[in-house]
Amino acid sequence: MNILYDEKRKLFHLQTPNTSYILGIHGLGWLTTLYYGPKLHLKEENLLVVRDRAFSPYADLGDKTYSPDTLPLELGSVGGGDFRVPSVELTQADGSSVTEFFYKCHKIVQGKPALDGQPAVYTQSEDEAMTLIVTLEDAQAGARAELYYTVFRDFDAICRRAVFINTGKQELKLERALSCCFDLPTDQYDFVQLSGAWARERHVHRTPLRPGSQLVESVRGTSSHQQSPFIALAAKNADEKQGRVYGAALIYSGNFVAQAEVSQFSTTRVVMGINPNGFSWQLDKNASFETPEAVLVCSAQGFGGMSRCFNKLIRTRLCRGKYRDGGRPVLLNSWEGCYFNFTADTIVRIGRDAAKLGIELLVMDDGWFGKRDDDHTSLGDWTPYPKKLPRGLKGLADELNAEGIAFGLWLEPEMVSPDSDLNRAHPDWALQVPGRVGVEGRNQLVLDYTRADVRDYIVSTVNGILASANIAYVKWDMNRHLTHACSALLSAVRQGETFHRFVLGVYDVMERITSANPEVLFEGCSGGGGRFDGGILYYMPQIWCSDDSDAIERLYIQHGTSLVYPQSAISAHVSAVPNHQVQRVTPLATRGAVAFTGAFGYELNVGLLPQEKQKTVAEQVQWYKDNRDFLASADYYRLRSPFGSNASAWMFLAEDKSRALVQFVRKLNVPNEPLDRLLLDGLAPDAQYRVAESGEVWYGDALMELGLPVCLPDGDFTAQTWTLTRVDE
């Protein structure tokens, strides 16, 4: 790790263990992207190619080759000759939105400066990172942009963000304030995105870059089920093991855009940040605006290399708290087992049955509060429903604890039902446009988290609930997207700030509640994986990955999610068959194998299973307990993609390569099927590994080059597991 500044050449060389990011200062002070990729040695070479081009305006009258239209730029601005997608747009008092930002100064500091009230990658000691802060200025507008670049000692990642400051005498309005912008010299990449819908989140899509813009975005107020705040640009030859892949992930839970634009000269601009759609920010004199953080990873080892870098960085330097490092308790969630139809006695009975099989935590899901028998009422009235919980939360928690199982609770703190005491008392606490009727989603409204009074109320209510009983876990749900995003307390010129202020409000509430309850395990959720992003993982180390709990559907969802997020963050449960979302019947062993891939649990009434199935559950629980610390810290290798194939396979490998778990799931049975061998990855080639299931000892190279023979049980949706231990030491 290093950041070098060559004063003579006006060039910054940012270095991670295996990558270089090189910036230059050119002409009038443009900050240029000279290179991003595998690590380089530099001598005296010219890294910038410029030409005088027709229809490309030049600001430096002495040198027509320097055009904002063709320079690779680290800050794209509006109206001054850069016609590609900008990363900042600023309206000034005279109505103009033309800006031209030029280099003013820079500093290089040890460590990584923190963000104010926003989630971000952190360091545990100053020697883990170095940060370059380049200040650009538009003197006429009275505006500065500080661009932050952090490089890491242990990760091939670069964290980027921007701070925009009003240094002048006029008020400014930010219409666009993106976290990062850079230009790559070619368009020979595929655009990779994680897209889908409720119950089929984060499916992988890979398409060749084409001239013009391609983007993913959310305007739903959350990062969303539909798109994910991540894109990758992958070399045409890139696969899981090799080829260059650039990944960009935004640590943010609200409206975002991630965009690649292929220019007329086949260069590619990448920008990422808060979606300008629905965003504006009033920048008073001396005020500043801090963007969320984007994390860039460049890997020469294909998607696998990129993912392992993201996975470990997020697991160890974005997630926090007591549960960051180890395996998580095995839990049983009541939702699919009883939906709204339960009482305390039901919950205790399920808990008792679960405890007998070794399950450690019983989560009572939606329906325990107010007068909630269905989803039409009571969000916001966070007091136990006397009809269901006559002995309150404490009574229930104590009874469960007496059965030998911990107690966890579902909450949806950002919402209010129109039919609730909270809404009747504070009808102005929901986001709304005065005079407009508004719309409901799942019969509910969104609380106005831009308001400090609303946030204070929720923080004290939730902290009160958590203090009222022995609650070991919280599932924090969020079941609708934002519409009518106006706040009663913001002035007219600031209404464009509502979406981002809402997200900042969510972070404020999450920070205050999670830090006041350090012993509680928090799990994020938004109708499944509708807010699966790095922002939430800063506060909660795991997220319910999808409301689709079918093992085969989960192959796709978990495969896509693993491109960025660590297995420890992916909450995955064994549910009943026929599956409630797709009616598919899969073997219990397969459901277990797929759920072992994440933070493991059950989503069914285990006491209703036949005895032999209960025995299998007990074995699964014990297996997970024995292996969870290994699984949580292992490197993850995708061996077969479920997209476009009949199988999916993956592998957990200990960091010291001493142990591995390999799993293979076939979708449909194939009559008289061809021989298949599974090629492993990442092993020490000259080490020997014992395969527990066969007793055979193989060299690592044979496992990776010849592969394990696949021999699945007969039938659809079956799974095979191999457990490898290094034996040559």
Which residue(s) pair with 185 in the sheet?
none
Among 69, 365, 381, 477, which one carries the catalytic annotation? Answer: 477
Strand ranges, E, within 502-646: 521-524, 542-544, 570-575, 599-603, 635-640
| Minimum CB–partner distance for residue 530 and ligand DGJ (Å) | 8
Q: Which is nearer to ligand DGJ, 182 or 410 (CB)?
A: 410
Q: Which of 74, 261, 547, 548 binds ligand DGJ (CB under 6 A)?
A: 547
- What is the nearest approach in angstroms of ligand DGJ to the Cβ of residue 547? 5
List the 719-726 sheet strands across, edge first.
Answer: 635-640, 647-653, 659-666, 719-726, 688-691, 697-699
Smaller CB distance to ligand DGJ: residue 231 or 525? 525
- CB nearer ligand DGJ, residue 221 or residue 527: 527
Residue appearing with tokens 């909660």: 540
Do 101 and 137 contact (CB within 8 A), yes or no? yes
The distance of closest approach from Cβ of residue 340 to ligand DGJ in the complex, given in angstroms and rounded to an integer, is 8
Query: Strand 256-262 and strand 268-274: pairing?
Result: antiparallel
Backbone φ/ψ region at 484: left (φ over 0), alpha (ψ -120 to 50), beta: left
Q: Please report whether residue 365 would count as binding ligand DGJ according to CB under 6 A.
A: yes
Cα-based torsion angle of the residue sequence 203, 209, 211, 217 in order, rounded to the nearest 10 degrees: 30
Which residue's CB is nearer to ligand DGJ, number 369 or number 544?
Answer: 544
Rule CB under 6 A: say whether 528 interacts with ligand DGJ.
Answer: yes
User: Is 701 part of the annotated catalytic residue set?
Assistant: no
Rule CB under 6 A: is residue 542 a binding residue for ligand DGJ? no
| CB-nearer residue toward ligand DGJ: 461 or 571 | 571
Residue placing its CB nearer to ligand DGJ in the complex, 268 or 444: 444
Torsion of Cα atoms, 630 then 19 then 119 then 480, to 10°: -80
Q: Does 544 bind ligand DGJ (CB under 6 A)?
A: yes
At its nearest, how many Å lie between ligand DGJ and the CB of residue 374? Answer: 10
Q: Does 385 bind ligand DGJ (CB under 6 A)?
A: no
The rounded distance, in Å, linking the Cα atoms of 688 and 685 is 8
Strand (E) or helix (H) holding 535? helix 534-537
Strand partners, 269: 183, 261
Q: Which is nearer to ligand DGJ, 594 or 683 (CB)?
A: 594
Q: Is 681 in the site for ligand DGJ (CB under 6 A)?
A: no
Pairing between β-strand 415-416 and β-strand 659-666 as defined by DSSP bridges:
unpaired
293 binds ligand DGJ, rule: CB under 6 A: no
> Which is closer to ligand DGJ, CB of 74 or CB of 366?
366
Nearer to ligand DGJ, 183 or 477 (CB): 477
- Choose the binding region for ligand DGJ from 218-226, 300-308, 522-530, 719-727 (rule: CB under 6 A): 522-530
Q: Is 629 a catalytic residue?
A: no
Does residue 689 touch ligand DGJ according to CB under 6 A?
no
Residues 141 and 283: their CA atoms lie apart, in Å, by 12
Q: Answer for the pair 501, 491: CB distance below 8 angstroms, yes or no.
A: no
**Residue closest to ligand DGJ, measured at CB:** 366
Q: Which stretch binds ligand DGJ (CB under 6 A): 21-29, 185-193, 417-425, 524-532?
A: 524-532
**Binding flag, residue 598, ligand DGJ (CB under 6 A):** no
Tokens 């070098």, residue located: 4
Rounded to whole angstroms, the Cα distance separating 120 from 401 reads 36
Identify the CA nearest to 170 among candidates 91, 281, 93.
93
CA distance 180 to 352: 52
User: Applying CB under 6 A, does 602 fall inside the site for ligand DGJ?
Assistant: no
Query: Which CB atom, from 378 or from 633, has the smaller least distance to ligand DGJ?
Result: 378
**Which helix (H) or strand (E) covers residue 337, if one does?**
helix 335-338
Element (H, E) at 162: strand 157-166
Residue in this structure with the two tokens 């091939």, named with its chain if needed: 156
Per-residue DSSP letter, 114: P
CB of 523 to ligand DGJ, least distance (A): 10
- 349/508 Cα distance (integer angstroms): 37
Please say which residue, 291 or 417, places its beta carbon nearer to ligand DGJ. 417
The interface with ligand DGJ within residues 386-425 (CB under 6 A) comprises 410
What is the rounded CA–CA span in Å between residue 34 and residue 47? 6
The answer to whether residue 635 forms part of the interface with ligand DGJ (CB under 6 A) is: no
Q: Does 335 bind ligand DGJ (CB under 6 A)?
A: yes
* Binding span for ligand DGJ by CB under 6 A among 99-107, 168-176, 521-529, 623-631: 521-529
Is 273 in a helix, a strand, or coil?
A: strand
Asked if 527 is part of the footprint of ligand DGJ (rule: CB under 6 A), the reply reads yes
Minimum distance of ligand DGJ from residue 351's CB (angstroms): 17
Min. distance of Cβ 361 from ligand DGJ in angstroms? 15
Whether cis (ω within 30° of 0) applies to the bond prior to 578 is: yes
CB of 478 to ligand DGJ, least distance (A): 9
Out of 89, 187, 240, 366, the only residue in the binding site for ligand DGJ (CB under 6 A) is 366
> Which span sits near ligand DGJ by CB under 6 A: 88-96, 230-238, 379-387, 520-528?
520-528
Counting residues that bind ligand DGJ (by CB under 6 A) gives 11
Q: Are 447 and 479 in contact (CB under 8 A)?
A: no
Q: Which stretch binds ligand DGJ (CB under 6 A): 60-68, 72-80, 523-531, 625-633?
A: 523-531
**Which of 366, 508 has the CB closer to ligand DGJ?**
366
Q: Determine contact, residues 21/57, Cβ cutoff 8 Å.
A: no
**3-state DSSP call for residue 432?**
coil
In whole angstroms, how close is the CB of 368 to ligand DGJ at the nearest point?
11
Question: What is the DSSP code (8-state) at residue 461?
Answer: H
Of 184, 525, 683, 724, the one binding ligand DGJ by CB under 6 A: 525
Helix (H) / strand (E) element for 505: namely: helix 498-516
Give the active site residue among 183, 547, 550, 681: 547
In the complex, the smallest distance separating the C-beta of residue 365 from ligand DGJ, rounded to whole angstroms, is: 5
What Rg do the C-alpha atoms of the chain give, in angstroms? 27
Query: Residue 641 gets which letter from DSSP?
Result: -
- Cα angle 479, 484, 488; round to 5: 110
- Alpha helix positions (H), 357-484: 392-402, 421-425, 452-468
**Site for ligand DGJ, residues 460 to 489, rule: CB under 6 A:** 477, 479
Residue window 422-451: x/- pattern of binding to ligand DGJ, with contact defined by CB under 6 A: ------------------------------
Q: Which stretch binds ligand DGJ (CB under 6 A): 115-123, 144-152, 243-251, 525-533?
A: 525-533
Q: Which residue's structure tokens are 């059965």?
A: 403
Structure tokens at 41: 């040695």
* Nearest distance in Å: CB 579, ligand DGJ: 14
Interface with ligand DGJ (CB under 6 A)? 335, 365-366, 410, 477, 479, 525, 527-528, 544, 547
Residues designated as active site: 477, 547
